[in-house]
Amino acid sequence: MAAKPKLYYFDGRGRMESVRWLLAAAGVEYEEVLFKTAEEFENLIKGGNLMYQQVPMVEIDGMHLVQTRAILKYIAAKYNLYGKDLKERALIDMYVEGMRDLNDMIMSFPFSLPEEKQKIFNYILERATQRFFPVYEKALKYHGNNYLVGNQLSWADVQLLEVILMTEELKSGILSAFPKLQEFKARVSKLPSIQKFLQPGSARKPPEDEATVEVVKNIFKTDEDLFLQHMS
């Protein structure tokens, strides 16, 4: 039996959360190595497997994969979540890249400078409702299927559900003007593997809070002002 994938990250969402989502959607069990201190992170670097000295890292199939998109593409292809041909993969990539832009904005929001939070909050909601959600609403309407691409669940669908739920954490009811996205959310959330991941006690991480922000800053030994400016 092949070893379970092993995820190396801090105890929070960050860029690893999309990896957790994709593995969960594929029904793949995995283990996590969650470091909590700068020393534990430095020991991981000293191990010699952490290319670029950055996380996330996923140990799978005898490899130590780094760089989030490389990890996600490998998992999507391995577990048949990456379309049936090059054209479908190109569509999936286009959708996912847009979702990653919105995902990154939301992920960075807890780290933003206090005086900029309201401005950034408003910007995220404006981008979500004016630029990104209309694209996926239209795709679902005109594709005539339950999924964004082809006739089966893909990486793009998993990423879309993740970013919808993240946006709803910022503002409930944000899908009020998007009936197709509402239907999509209800439908995909009921898929057994995803429904399991959404249950309390799963490996899904909660939104970043002030305590998590402090832990992350301490782990990576980043000057507070520079860190906040970079993340905003």
Q: What is the predicted pLDDT for the residue at 226? A: 41
Query: What is the per-residue DSSP string for the chain?
Result: -PPPPEEEEESS-GGGHHHHHHHHHTT---EEEEE-SHHHHHHHHHTT--GGG-S-EEEETTEEEESHHHHHHHHHHHTT-S-SSHHHHHHHHHHHHHHHHHHHHHHHGGGS-GGGHHHHHHHHHHHIIIIIHHHHHHHHHHH-SSSSSTTS--HHHHHHHHHHHHHHHHSTTTTTT-HHHHHHHHHHHTSHHHHHHTSTTSSPPPPP-HHHHHHHHHHHT--HHHHHHHH-
Is the Cβ–Cβ distance between 99 and 159 less than 8 Å?
yes
Tens-digit pLDDT profile for the chain (232 aa)?
A: 578 999 999 998 999 999 999 999 999 999 999 998 888 888 888 988 888 888 999 999 999 999 999 999 999 999 999 999 999 999 999 999 999 999 999 988 888 888 999 999 999 999 999 999 999 999 999 887 889 998 899 999 999 999 999 999 999 999 999 999 999 999 999 999 999 999 998 999 998 888 888 888 888 775 544 444 433 3
Alpha carbon distance 126, 130 (integer Å): 6
Instruction: Please report the pLDDT score of residue 222 as a whole number.
Output: 59
Domains and CATH numbers, the chain: 6-79+199-209 (3.40.30.10), 86-191 (1.20.1050.10)
- Contact present, 193 and 23 (Cβ < 8 Å): no
